Amino acid sequence: LSISYEDGKADDQFIYLPALKRTKRIASDNKNDSFMGSDFTYDDMGSRHPDLDTHTILRRETVQGVPTIVVQSESKSAQEYPKTISWIVDGQWYGMKKEFYDKSGKLAKTLVIDEIKTVDGIHIIGDMTMSNLTKRTSTRIRMDDVRFDVDLDERFFSERQMQIGPRR
């Protein structure tokens, strides 16, 4: 469960641990931990408010036949990856690729969006791969069954409901 705020406040994130039968809040100092043993971090799985970084347009570039705007983002506060470079689809405003640079300025991770699909008129990531260049590992996440405007009770989105599980 990830709760994002519009005012720049850090996301609240919770994960259900079935072996312990409990929900755990992901503390802000643990956001750089691996998400379920993958190459993604908890921070990667949330959203980042644009005001937390300083952004610079570097250039325009065509990637796989798609025109993109290449944007460098530098964190205004201490982060695991103080600099990122993103390839944003011109006019659509979603990313195709993102490079993460560590505190020494070395390229540490790359995120590649392998598929963007449209569901009910909404662009979503269908397939993405995070590569950790330091560990020489990668993790692929694929979204196959995505639905919008599903009638869900607001109470479904709570720590307690995560422990109970879906209603049958």
* The pLDDT value given to residue 97: 94
The Cα 40–Cα 45 span in angstroms is 7
The span from the first CA to the last CA of the chain, in angstroms, equals: 20
* Domains (range + CATH), the chain: 2-164 (2.50.20.10)
Mean pLDDT (whole number) for 101-119: 92
pTM over 0.75: no
